């Protein structure tokens, strides 16, 4: 069935989380991981636009919540990177051997333990840089007198910060990293566009999403070939 | 990573692009910025969270490092002040 959006759930060792499903019931399937915390809000619509464009290429996908993100019953302050990685790994096993990671920014910290067929990362961010961003947001916003452990409205535990500090994306095996053309760091391809994950007001970029979906589709075909 | 900048004009171009991209301002609007154009307190889009995003994006594009204790109101007061600060970091 070639359809648009469906709502679904998945079970992992620690519980059950919700996910959106796009596209056909067969063939390769993309697992989209949004960045953690505030950047998730700024990239969710953009990610859905990429996933809808992938349906046009006949490629299925899921956009899961992870424990402590989205509509999860786990509170943000209870979120642990190790749990999120476990949930990701359990989900990828459930989806089968033709699952591919599509991770945006710090979402790339979640797919490291999963036995996916390949990893495609958009502007991946290390955990160290994420923690630095969180601390800077706190520092520049100190007039608002944010309570201890609160970063731009997100309550983050010290355990989570400790886990994040040393976390890096996995870049071995079938791996492709894509960046915006304003980002000078090494990449396999670059595309023109603004960093929506840092926009002060959430926005979308349909043209960029289409280009990225084309890139992902071509890359998955080369992995499967 | 080695990032080489020819001079202040290239840093200025980068600062303009970052303000447009992060704050969602039109190209025409940022093209009209002069050194005296006030930023923090004058642009409603530039709230404290956007300040963090602008500075971090400048770090990434210019290959520079800005310490949190260097961040003050003065460097963000005008467009010219922000370019001068960024150029001082990038052109060493």
Contact assignment for A200 to B49 by CB distance below 8 Å:
yes
Q: Which domains does chain A have, with CATH numbers?
A: 5-126+171-219 (3.40.50.1820)
Alpha carbon of B79: minimum distance to chain A alpha carbons (Å): 18
Yes or no, beta carbons of B61 and A135 under 8 Å apart = no
What confidence tens digit (pLDDT) does each residue in A62-119 have?
999 999 999 999 999 999 999 999 999 999 999 999 999 999 999 999 999 999 999 9
Q: CB–CB of B21 and A143 under 8 A?
A: no
Question: A145 touching B, CB under 8 A?
Answer: no
Please judge whether A136 and B55 are an interchain contact, meaning their C-beta atoms are less than 8 angstroms apart: yes
pTM: 0.93
Would you give the DSSP letter of residue B78?
B
User: Any idea how long chain A is?
Assistant: 225
According to CATH, what is the number of the domain B8-90?
1.10.1200.10
Q: Where are the domains of chain B?
A: 8-90
- Interface probe for B, chosen from A138, A142, A150, A200 (most Cβ of B below 10 Å), is A200
- What would the pLDDT profile of A146-193 be if each residue is shown by its tens digit? 677 788 778 999 999 999 999 999 999 999 999 999 999 999 999 999
A115 vs A89, A91, A98, B84, CA distance in Å?
7, 11, 10, 48
The answer to whether the beta carbons of residues A76 and A154 sit under 8 Å apart is yes
């Amino acid at each position: 069935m070639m359809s648009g959006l469906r709502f679904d759930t998945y079970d992992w060792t620690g519980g059950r989380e919700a996910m959106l499903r796009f596209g056909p019931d067969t063939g390769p399937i993309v697992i989209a991981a949004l960045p953690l915390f505030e950047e998730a809000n700024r990239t969710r619509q953009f990610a859905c636009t990429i996933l809808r464009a992938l349906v046009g290429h006949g490629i299925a996908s899921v956009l899961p919540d992870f424990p402590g993100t989205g509509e999860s019953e786990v509170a943000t302050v209870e979120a642990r990177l190790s749990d999120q990685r476990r949930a990701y790994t359990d989900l990828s096993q459930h989806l089968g051997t033709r699952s591919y990671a599509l991770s945006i920014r710090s979402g790339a910290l979640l797919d490291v333990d999963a036995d996916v067929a390949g990893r495609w990362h958009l502007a991946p961010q290390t955990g160290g840089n994420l923690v630095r961003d969180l601390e800077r947001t706190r520092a520049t916003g100190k007039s608002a007198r944010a309570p201890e452990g609160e970063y731009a409205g997100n309550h983050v535990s010290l355990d989570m910060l400790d886990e994040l500090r040393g976390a890096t994306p996995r870049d071995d095996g079938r791996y492709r990293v894509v960046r915006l053309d304003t980002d000078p760091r090494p990449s396999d391809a670059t595309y023109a566009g603004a960093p929506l994950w840092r926009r002060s007001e959430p926005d979308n970029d349909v043209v960029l999403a289409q280009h990225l979906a084309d890139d992902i589709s071509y890359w998955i075909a080369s992995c499967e070939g | 990573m080695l990032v080489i900048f020819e001079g202040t004009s290239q840093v200025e171009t980068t600062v303009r692009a970052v303000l447009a991209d992060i704050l969602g301002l039109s190209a025409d609007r940022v093209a009209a910025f002069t050194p005296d154009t006030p930023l923090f307190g004058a642009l409603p889009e530039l709230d404290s969270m956007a300040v963090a995003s602008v500075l971090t994006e400048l770090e990434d594009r210019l290959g520079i490092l800005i310490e949190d204790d260097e961040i003050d109101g003065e460097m963000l007061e005008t467009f010219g002040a922000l370019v001068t600060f960024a150029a001082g970091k990038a052109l060493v």
